[in-house]
Every structure is written in C-alpha cells, then in structure tokens.
C-alpha cells in the first residue's frame, strides 16, 4: 500500500492549527495507538454520503488508518462536541462514490493526492456508525 508522508510544515504547523481551529472543514479524530495504546489525534475532513459518515485517507496507509484497523473505535470532535463511532473499512469496489463526494467537499486542497495516488485502493475509506 502507498503512503504520502506529510511534509514537516504540515505535520508540525498546519495539523496543530487545524486541530485547534477546525479550518477548512477539518474535524479532530482520536484513535488508539496500535502499539502505544495511547490516544492519537489528527485532523481530517469527514464526508456524509446518503446519511452515512465516512473518513477518507487522502495520503494512503497513514498511521491513523493502521490504528483504526487495529482498534476500530474513533472519536470525532468539532468545536467541543465529540461523537464516538465504530469504524468499518469500505471495500475497494464501493469507494468511488464516497471518494467523489469527499473530493467535491475538500476541493483543490486534496487534488494533488489523487494525482500521486489515483486508484481507490490507495485511499482507505471507513464508514462510521454509532452505538
């Protein structure tokens, strides 16, 4: 599986700003580290399609993806409101409409990721359910 490592500026500056402010529609996800068992938080842009909430990994096999596969529970927070979800990975054959909705929502910000990783297999997608 492919992975596009974020540049230092993104990791150390943008992600911190996004976590604190929610700019560009970002929300904070918190997952349990698969080795450390400590909470890990990153900014993402969730997308809703047909009444279901999804997480899409723009960068491929990221750490949050690996952590979510190991422990499929995630907290999604925005402006002090947190919802606990169970995550299930969406089969590759079912990802196209979700990825299309995600790309429309996130806009030009994510275009470069699909130029470098054009196939749906390169972008893990998780459906979120409560309860």
For residue 124, give the 3-state DSSP assignment: coil
Q: What is the pLDDT of residues 100-117, one digit of tens each?
A: 999 999 988 889 989 999
pLDDT number for residue 73: 97
Supply the pTM of this predicted model: 0.90
Rounded Cα distance, 69 and 67, in Å: 5
Q: What is the pLDDT of residues 12-66, one digit of tens each?
A: 666 666 667 667 678 999 999 999 999 999 999 999 999 999 999 999 999 999 9
pLDDT over threshold 90, residue 7: no
pLDDT number for residue 15: 64
Tell me the mean pLDDT in the region 87-94: 98
CA atoms within 13 A on the CB side of 28: 19
Rounded Cα distance, 29 and 43, in Å: 6
Rounded Cα distance, 68 and 81, in Å: 20
pLDDT number for residue 109: 81
For residue 58, count CB atoms less than 10 angstroms from its CB and return exposed for 0-12, middle for 13-18, buried for 19 or more: buried
């Amino acid at each position: 599986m492919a992975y596009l490592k974020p540049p230092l500026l993104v990791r150390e500056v943008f992600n911190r700003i996004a976590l604190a402010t929610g700019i560009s529609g970002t929300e904070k996800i918190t997952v349990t580290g698969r080795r450390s068992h400590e909470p890990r938080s990153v900014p993402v842009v969730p997308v809703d399609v047909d009444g279901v909430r999804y997480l899409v990994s723009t960068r491929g096999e990221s750490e949050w993806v690996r952590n979510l596969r190991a422990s499929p529970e995630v907290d999604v927070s925005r402006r002090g409101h947190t919802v606990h979800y169970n995550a299930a990975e969406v089969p590759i054959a079912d990802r196209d409409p979700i990825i299309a909705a995600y790309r429309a929502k996130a806009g030009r910000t994510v275009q470069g990721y699909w130029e470098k990783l054009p196939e749906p297999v390169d972008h893990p997608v998780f459906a979120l359910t409560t309860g």
